[in-house]
Amino acid sequence: MGTKYKFRFIGQLYLSLVPRTELIGDSDRYVKAGSAVILRCVVRGALEPPSYIIWYHGTQQIFTESRRGWKTQLDRGAPDLDGDIHSTPEC
């Protein structure tokens, strides 16, 4: 007959939850220079709505509300997407 051991761990457990982002539509887009472009993404798995979303064109960060005409809108109450967060920069 074997001996059974019981272990007890007392401490703290830290979880790191990383939200996932998903670009809506095709990831490659070809548009005529000067045309308006709307990009949409959904953030899933966030414990709280993000206060901002950073967009990139290649490796360059897109600065919203800049002279190039970028605008960002956060839609925090999209009922059709179960409360996920949308960000839409328009250029």
Instruction: Tell me the per-residue pLDDT of 25-74, one tens digit each, with 9 for 90 and over.
Output: 887 888 888 777 777 888 888 877 777 778 887 888 877 666 666 666 67
Q: What is the pLDDT of residue 90?
A: 47
What's the token pair of residue 13?
């457990």
Domain assignment of residue 51, yes or no: yes
Per the structure, the count of domains in the chain is: 1
5 within some domain? no
- Domain assignment present for residue 52? The answer is yes
Judge whether residue 23 has pLDDT over 80: yes
Answer whether residue 31 is part of any domain: no
Residue 36 forms part of a structural domain: no
In a domain, 21, yes or no: no
Using the predicted structure, report yes or no on whether residue 1 has a pLDDT greater than 70.
Answer: no
18-55 burial, b at 16+ Cβ within 10 Å, e below that, comes to eeebeeeeeeeeeeeeeeeeebebbbeeeeeeeeebeb
Domain of 68? 47-74
